[in-house]
Structure 1
């Protein structure tokens, strides 16, 4: 028998993982843009 509290927590894990992934992806994009700006400023 499946524990309902366990199965009801899975969507929360997925939401948390999704938000973390989105944060990392946006941070990665930010790093790329910052590197472009630094390179452009130096040249």
Structure 2
């Protein structure tokens, strides 16, 4: 997603970012595998 990609350039290695479209579509960066799995299963 454009918002995620734009904001990724200013994130530090320990930052997390979640961008969610209310339809259930989302994109994220910086989450652990456990966090990413949870998001995939719950969005």
| Same fold? TM cut 0.5 | no
Which has more radius of gyration? 1
Q: In proportion to residue count, which structure has more strand? A: 2
Compute the TM-score of the two structures, normalised by the length of structure 1: 0.27
Compute the TM-score of the two structures, normalised by the length of structure 2: 0.27
